[in-house]
Amino acid sequence: MNRPLWEAMLNATHVGPGTRLLDVGCGGGGASLLVAARGAQVTGLDAAEGLIAFARERAPNSEFRVGDMVDLPFADGAFDLVFAANSIQFAGDWLAALRELGRVCVLNGRIAVGLFGPPEKVAFRAIFETISAMLPEPLSGGGPFALSGPGKLEGLFEQAGLSVLASDEIDCPFGYPDFATFWRGTTAAGPFQSILPVVGEAQLKLALRDAVEPFCCGDGRILIRPNRFKYVVAAG
């Protein structure tokens, strides 16, 4: 479902044969597969060992490592492009993470960061709001929209010493054939896994059934849209 964002970021940075790309927060390797299909050399990094194991199975010819985006285990200037889709907003230190992305990028290379756009343009915010209302305390770190405000991500790039070249938005509709698939896919994400023990599976499932009701189609499908994502491209 994030493929439109990934493709837009890869197109904006002209990824092709020979590009050395680092996929920061690669998850299960979805974007990494698209990178490899373009003939680029991809290295993926994620904090979750289970997701890295899955990415290695899906793309055995690419390199994947477990690591932290604020302390990347790579040499200075090791990559032509550093790519981070829907991950930077969850870093413990946003500025440190962006500086790390810049450090491992070759001089005059490219850094591309994508994340949720403004909440009013993201229909999936209804899901986040439902969960937030169930928590005894607000989530730390600002949540999925922490860097989505106008100019906020661009400002952090500048603070990190990186020159912003372009920014844009793309729509990523979230579609599911049924509620069971929605439930499995949504609760598999790291933030939801940390919330489940606090809220409880049965209670969360009931609340999410109500939250997706406005997005249900007559045939049982769930289509959540529009979901605007933004991405920023900067020079290393």
Between 185 and 74, whose confidence is greater?
Answer: 74
The pLDDT tens digits for 120-159 are 999 999 999 998 888 877 666 668 899 999 999 999 999 9
Q: Is the pTM of this model over 0.85?
A: yes
Instruction: Give CA separation, 50 vs 26, 35, 91, in Å.
Output: 12, 21, 19
Helices 30-37 and 3-12: crossing angle, nearest 10°? 40
Give pLDDT, residue 140.
Answer: 64
* pLDDT, the chain, mean: 94
Contact partners, residue 88, CB within 8 Å, separation at least 6: 24, 25, 69, 94, 97, 98, 113, 115, 147, 153
Give pLDDT, residue 132.
Answer: 85
Q: Are 22 and 74 in contact (CB under 8 A)?
A: yes
For domain 3-235, say whether CATH 2.40.30.10 is its number: no
- Sequence spans of domains, the chain: 3-235
Give pLDDT, residue 192.
Answer: 80
The pLDDT tens digits for 180-228 are 999 999 988 777 877 888 888 999 999 999 999 999 998 999 999 999 9
